[in-house]
């Protein structure tokens, strides 16, 4: 199974129900008051962490999620029902980003955690809501507010306890396949593993439930911290692990020196992130069955002493030494204390809180005027321009916001086109 950890999807929240324009008709009452009810809210799109999911694979064939629209308001002051939310299940550890802006919308790390990712629109107000002393019988109602539409980038950082790092072909996949049920491809050429594979490792004897998750990641090479050999993609996966098992090829069969390899890989880790560099490492000297391994092991022991790390000679091919290694990893996990999230890691993009009432005027490529502003665009979407009164209300707001004046300052002429949101107007004094 391929492990997909990035995917783009589209979510659309429900539009609010339209407000109703209606009047009471009662016997013996000559003119009933306005009685059109409000529309109901459109459904939100809510993401929820589901503990039965481990990957983003399900999204490969289901990339669009749409919540229902709110019900329209009705006569006799009846409000439309709010629409239920559309629940999107995601695995624990899913990072939700706005694909268009890069903004992080949610970091879903806890089981059962929920986040509203796209908000449903509010219902339009019925004509009853617009009655006041000046206009006791308004004939217009509002349309529902459109729901939010978002393109999303979902990222799943592997939630593995242990990450395997090392040059290509040192035997990372061989180790994972020996200690877990995972079956990553194993071969003598470099970059056999191109996507991370998770393996669940059983530590205890039969009946003892102790397990941890080990991530087999693609081999690292020099320059990985700068992205060489997909380095960034791979190192991203090591970020959330608790312990690193660093594998070297003790036999040096490919012509590299395992002691040098150890330092070079650590240099790349450090260049990528200080936090990864501080993580506990356990060194595994693999391919102990091959000639030359014993001599190098002596030098690796000196290295381990000097650096104060644990070293385990293993043979992933035969399974020799693996039990000791796994027990040591389990012990290190027991002793692991989480490092508080400091300055590092992904910077949360600060969404500039845009003033919804701010109005800006610009020209599009055809030279036509474009008036933008959140509240104003919303007002346009919710106004029923087919109704004279609604139109007058719109013009009133337009005037008190001083938009006419602003357009005149920009030199607008009679008959020119003005865009607001999806609407187009011809300018008239």
Ligand X SMILES: Nc1nc2c(ncn2[C@@H]2O[C@H](COP(=O)(O)OP(=O)(O)OP(=O)(O)O)[C@@H](O)[C@H]2O)c(=O)[nH]1
| Residues contributing to the site for ligand X (CB under 6 A) | 166, 168-174, 186-188, 190-193, 218-219, 286-287, 289-290, 315-317
219 is in an annotated binding site: yes
294 contacts 252 by C-beta, under 8 angstroms: no
CB closer to ligand X, 151 vs 320 = 320
423, interface contact from Mg ion, ligand X, none, CB < 5-8 Å by kind: none
190, interface contact from Mg ion, ligand X, none, CB < 5-8 Å by kind: ligand X
Minimum separation from the CB atom of position 99 to Mg ion (A): 31
243, interface contact from ligand X, Mg ion, none, CB < 5-8 Å by kind: none
Minimum separation from the CB atom of position 343 to Mg ion (A): 33
Structure tokens at 194: 């191109």
128 is in an annotated binding site: no
Beta bridge partners of 162: 214, 243
CB closer to ligand X, 85 vs 313 = 313
Query: What residue has token string 């009933």?
Result: 32
172 is in an annotated binding site: yes
43, interface contact from ligand X, Mg ion, none, CB < 5-8 Å by kind: none
Q: How far apart are CA 36 and CA 53, in angstroms?
A: 46
195 is in an annotated binding site: yes
Minimum separation from the CB atom of position 176 to ligand X (A): 8
216 is in an annotated binding site: yes
289 is in an annotated binding site: yes
171, interface contact from ligand X, Mg ion, none, CB < 5-8 Å by kind: ligand X
Applying CB under 5 A, which residues contact Mg ion?
Answer: 172-173, 192-193
Minimum separation from the CB atom of position 217 to ligand X (A): 8
CB closer to ligand X, 150 vs 287 = 287
167 is in an annotated binding site: yes
231 is in an annotated binding site: no
Minimum separation from the CB atom of position 166 to ligand X (A): 6
123 contacts 36 by C-beta, under 8 angstroms: no
Beta bridge partners of 371: 361
CB closer to ligand X, 259 vs 317 = 317
218 is in an annotated binding site: yes
CB closer to ligand X, 107 vs 257 = 257
284, interface contact from Mg ion, ligand X, none, CB < 5-8 Å by kind: none
Minimum separation from the CB atom of position 165 to ligand X (A): 10
CB closer to Mg ion, 15 vs 193 = 193
Structure tokens at 257: 């020196």
CB closer to ligand X, 86 vs 284 = 284
315 is in an annotated binding site: yes
Other C-beta atoms within 10 Å of 34: how many? 23
316 is in an annotated binding site: yes
| C-alpha 253: how far from chain center | 42
Minimum separation from the CB atom of position 173 to ligand X (A): 3
Minimum separation from the CB atom of position 423 to Mg ion (A): 57
CB closer to ligand X, 135 vs 192 = 192
Handedness of CA 178, 179, 184, 189 (dihedral sign): negative
Structure tokens at 119: 């908000």
157, interface contact from Mg ion, ligand X, none, CB < 5-8 Å by kind: none
Q: How far apart are CA 280 and CA 309, in angstroms?
A: 8
289, interface contact from Mg ion, ligand X, none, CB < 5-8 Å by kind: ligand X
Binding residues: 166-173, 191-195, 216-219, 286-289, 315-317
Binding residues for GTP: 166-173, 191-195, 216-219, 286-289, 315-317
Binding residues for Mg(2+): 173, 193
């Amino acid at each position: 199974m391929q492990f997909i950890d990035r995917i783009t999807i589209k979510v659309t929240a429900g539009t609010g129900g339209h407000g109703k324009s209606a009047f009471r008709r009662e016997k013996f009452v000559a003119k009933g008051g306005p009685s059109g009810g409000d529309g109901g809210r459109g459904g939100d799109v809510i993401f929820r962490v589901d503990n039965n999911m481990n990957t983003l694979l399900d999204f490969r064939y289901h990339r669009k999620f749409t919540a229902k629209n709110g019900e329209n308001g009705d006569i006799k002051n009846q409000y439309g029902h709010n629409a239920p939310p559309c629940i999107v299940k995601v695995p624990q550890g899913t990072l939700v980003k706005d694909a268009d802006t890069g903004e992080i919308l949610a970091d879903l790390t806890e089981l059962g955690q929920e986040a509203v990712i796209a908000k449903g629109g509010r219902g339009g107000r019925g004509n009853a809501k617009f009655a006041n002393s000046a206009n006791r019988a308004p004939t217009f109602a509002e349309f529902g507010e459109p729901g939010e539409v978002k393109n999303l980038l979902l990222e799943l950082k592997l939630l593995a306890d242990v990450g395997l790092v090392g040059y290509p072909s040192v035997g990372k996949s061989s180790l994972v396949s020996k200690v877990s049920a995972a079956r990553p491809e194993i071969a003598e050429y470099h970059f056999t593993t191109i996507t991370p594979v998770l393996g669940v490792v059983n530590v205890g004897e039969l009946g003892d439930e102790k397990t941890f998750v080990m991530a087999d990641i693609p081999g690292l090479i020099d320059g990985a911290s700068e992205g060489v050999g997909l380095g960034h993609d791979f190192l991203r996966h090591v970020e959330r692990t608790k312990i690193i098992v660093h594998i070297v090829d003790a036999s040096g069969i490919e012509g590299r020196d395992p002691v040098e390899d150890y330092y070079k890989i650590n240099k790349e880790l450090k260049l990528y992130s200080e936090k990864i560099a501080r993580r506990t490492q356990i060194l595994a000297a693999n391919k102990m069955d091959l000639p030359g391994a014993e001599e190098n092991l002596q030098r690796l022991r000196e290295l381990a002493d000097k650096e104060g790390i644990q070293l385990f000679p293993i043979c992933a091919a035969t399974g020799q030494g693996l039990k000791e290694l796994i027990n040591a990893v389990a012990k290190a996990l027991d002793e692991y204390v989480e490092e508080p999230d400091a300055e590092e890691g992904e910077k949360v993009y600060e969404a500039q809180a845009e003033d919804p009432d701010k109005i800006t005027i610009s020209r599009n490529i055809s030279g036509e005027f474009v008036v933008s502003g959140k509240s104003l665009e919303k007002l346009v979407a919710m106004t029923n321009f087919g109704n004279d009164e609604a139109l007058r209300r719109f013009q009133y707001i337009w005037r008190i916001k001083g938009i006419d004046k602003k357009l005149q300052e920009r030199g607008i002429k009679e008959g020119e086109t003005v865009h607001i949101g999806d609407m187009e107007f011809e300018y008239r004094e």
